Amino acid sequence: MPMLQISTNIAKEKITEEFNLNLSDVLANTLNKPIGYCAVHIMPDQLMSFGGTFEPCAMVTLMSIGRLGVEENKKHSKAIMCELEKLGIPPNRIYIFFQDAHPYEVGYNETTFAEILATNT
């Protein structure tokens, strides 16, 4: 159910499958969600500027059903930005947008998480 979407001007060749999978681990740990539901989508090679320059930057969206909030988002922000720093993107060139979705707004496996969560409780 958590989805991390990253648009960046970093070249595709610098982003490994290992980096992507590591972000899945970070996502699962920081949100305390099963890794089997975590999705990471990295869009490299984007034409992007930040602060009037084309230096490395990223625009990130983190969508989750719950586990987002004033204090939680500080923890998520730090964890995600620490990983993106490994690509050479400084934290002051990253925006993260947090989206707290309702279970009925997220479809999966021919239904929604509203139904999945209702049958698991």
State the Cα–Cα distance between residues 76 and 46, nearest whole angstrom: 24
The pLDDT assigned to 114 comes to 96
90 in catalytic set: no
Read off the tokens for 73.
């988002």
Share of the chain above pLDDT 70, in %: 99
Give me the residue label for tokens 């975590």. Answer: 38
Residues of the domain holding 33: 3-119
Average pLDDT, the chain: 97
Read off the tokens for 22.
């590591």
| Overall number of domains in the chain | 1
Residue 19's pLDDT band (cuts 50, 70, 90): very high
CB of 79 closer than 8 Å to CB of 30:
yes
82: which DSSP letter? H
Task: State the CATH number of the domain containing residue 11.
Answer: 3.30.429.10
Residue 120's pLDDT band (cuts 50, 70, 90): confident
Instruction: Tell me the pLDDT tens digit for each residue of 29-78.
Output: 999 999 999 999 999 999 999 999 999 999 999 999 999 999 999 999 99
Which one of the listed residues 2, 56, 90, 91 is annotated catalytic?
2
pTM: 0.95
Share of the chain above pLDDT 90, in %: 98
CB of 7 closer than 8 Å to CB of 59:
yes
The pLDDT assigned to 98 comes to 99
